[in-house]
């Protein structure tokens, strides 16, 4: 008996040591591309990081709730220097909710941030903050306990300043005006796949294209949609060669013909030459997979992937990794 439990203890240690060993070696591996590492202020998970070119910083969202900035010095530090996250916004009234998608609206000197109850799926809101003062400009309630289960996930802004927020649970898009008024909800049968297992995570990353349409991804079906705002919000499935884009998460528009899809694999480059009627996966990038790439952003013309999982003790270290395709 004693021998048996010793043996099972040894097996248990071995089993837990293997994944830890893999993570340690993955962490020690020299990254092949440029990485911004930063120390977090608290929790283990960061959902989104977007570059704010005016203020030379990444704006990051805390899964435990709150928004931070990670300033990047003018003289970019040599390899191995760890930047520091500073908390810039915290909604006391939303305690218990996560902060998720971010859209930096440089033109209006503000940033939009999604806040939602990821586990309970009973609360979703969109907030806007002044980029210079972090004063809150609005906090728009999107859904609550008496509505259908929802969880607001990601956001982008059109040329007029309207915000579009994806619902990763019910598969819809909330449209919020420039002053924070809820204008409408975009629904379409194409947003709901038939199979139950493809409904687990619905609409996720979203980008506004300067030609007047949205590109949206559905995580579990891998579908990419074009929502044409100039044609009454007409929804079409973009035919993607090399798709479907299963497990696609955050998106970033690299140029009018290229988007970067964060997820698993860490990054995919998708290109379209016909105004996003069709597209193809032209390249893939594998970063630190164990940290999970959940969002993409563009800094000085280059795509970067933000990874969700912080690793380290006592301070958790996060990684924003350049994707080279």
Ligand X SMILES: *[C@@H]1O[C@H](CO)[C@@H](O)[C@H](O)[C@H]1NC(C)=O
Footprint of ligand X on this chain (CB under 6 A)?
93-94, 96-97, 117, 120, 123
Q: State the nearest-atom distance from the C-beta of 91 to ligand X, in Å.
A: 8
The strands making up 57-62's β-sheet, listed across from edge to edge, are 46-52, 57-62, 67-71, 82-89, 35-39, 317-322, 302-307, 293-299
What CA–CA distance (Å, rounded) separates 196 from 174?
Answer: 23
Q: State the nearest-atom distance from the C-beta of 94 to ligand X, in Å.
A: 4
Measured from the CB atom, the residue of 51 and 151 that comes closer to ligand X is 151
Measured from the CB atom, the residue of 61 and 223 that comes closer to ligand X is 61
Measured from the CB atom, the residue of 93 and 107 that comes closer to ligand X is 93
What CA–CA distance (Å, rounded) separates 132 from 320?
Answer: 23
- Report phi then psi at 24, rounded to 5: -60, -45
Measured from the CB atom, the residue of 36 and 174 that comes closer to ligand X is 174
Q: State the nearest-atom distance from the C-beta of 64 to ligand X, in Å.
A: 11
Q: State the nearest-atom distance from the C-beta of 93 to ligand X, in Å.
A: 5
Strands 46-52 and 57-62: antiparallel
3-state secondary structure of 60: strand
Measured from the CB atom, the residue of 96 and 212 that comes closer to ligand X is 96
Q: State the nearest-atom distance from the C-beta of 48 to ligand X, in Å.
A: 18
Measured from the CB atom, the residue of 180 and 312 that comes closer to ligand X is 180
Q: State the nearest-atom distance from the C-beta of 149 to ligand X, in Å.
A: 13
Q: State the nearest-atom distance from the C-beta of 279 to ligand X, in Å.
A: 37
Q: Report whether 96 contacts 125 (CB < 8 A).
A: no
Q: Is 210 exposed, middle or buried (0-12, 13-18, 19+ CB in 10 A)?
A: exposed
Closest CA to 319 of 116, 111, 108, 46: 46
Q: Which residues touch 298 (CB under 8 Å, ≥6 apart)? A: 51, 252, 253, 254, 260, 304
Q: Which residue is nearest to ligand X (CB)?
A: 96
Please give the C-alpha separations between residue 188 and each of 171, 235, 252, in angstroms, as whole numbers: 9, 7, 23
Measured from the CB atom, the residue of 96 and 242 that comes closer to ligand X is 96
Q: Is 230 left (phi over 0), alpha (psi -120 to 50) or beta?
A: alpha
């Amino acid at each position: 008996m004693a021998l048996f439990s010793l043996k099972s203890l040894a097996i248990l240690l071995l089993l837990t040591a293997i994944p830890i060993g893999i993570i340690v070696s993955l962490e020690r591996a020299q990254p092949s591309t440029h990485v911004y590492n930063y120390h977090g202020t608290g929790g283990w998970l960061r959902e989104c990081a977007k570059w704010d070119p005016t203020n030379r910083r990444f704006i990051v969202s805390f899964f435990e709730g709150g928004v931070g900035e990670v300033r990047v010095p003018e003289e970019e530090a040599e390899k191995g220097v760890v930047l520091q996250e500073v908390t810039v916004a915290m909604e006391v009234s939303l305690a218990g909710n996560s902060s998720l998608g971010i859209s930096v609206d440089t033109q209006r000197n503000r940033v939009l941030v999604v806040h939602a109850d990821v586990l309970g799926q009973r609360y979703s809101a969109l907030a806007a903050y002044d980029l210079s003062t972090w004063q809150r400009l609005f906090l728009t309630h999107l859904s609550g306990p008496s509505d259908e289960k929802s969880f607001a996930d990601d956001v982008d802004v059109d040329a007029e300043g309207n915000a579009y927020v994806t619902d990763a649970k019910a598969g819809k898009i909330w449209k919020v005006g420039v002053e924070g008024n809820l204008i409408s909800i975009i629904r379409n049968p194409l947003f709901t796949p038939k199979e139950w297992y493809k409904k687990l995570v619905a609409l996720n990353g979203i980008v506004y294209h300067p030609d007047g349409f949205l590109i949206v991804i559905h995580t579990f079906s891998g579908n990419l949609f074009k929502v044409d705002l100039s044609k009454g919000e007409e929804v079409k499935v973009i035919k993607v060669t090399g798709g479907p884009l299963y497990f696609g998460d955050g998106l970033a528009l690299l140029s009018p013909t290229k988007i970067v899809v964060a997820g698993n694999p860490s990054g995919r480059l998708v290109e379209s030459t016909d105004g996003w009627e069709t597209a193809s996966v032209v390249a893939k990038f594998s970063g630190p997979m164990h940290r999970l790439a959940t969002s993409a952003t563009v800094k000085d013309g280059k795509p970067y992937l933000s990874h969700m999982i912080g690793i380290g003790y006592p301070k958790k270290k996060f990684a924003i990794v350049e994707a080279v395709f």
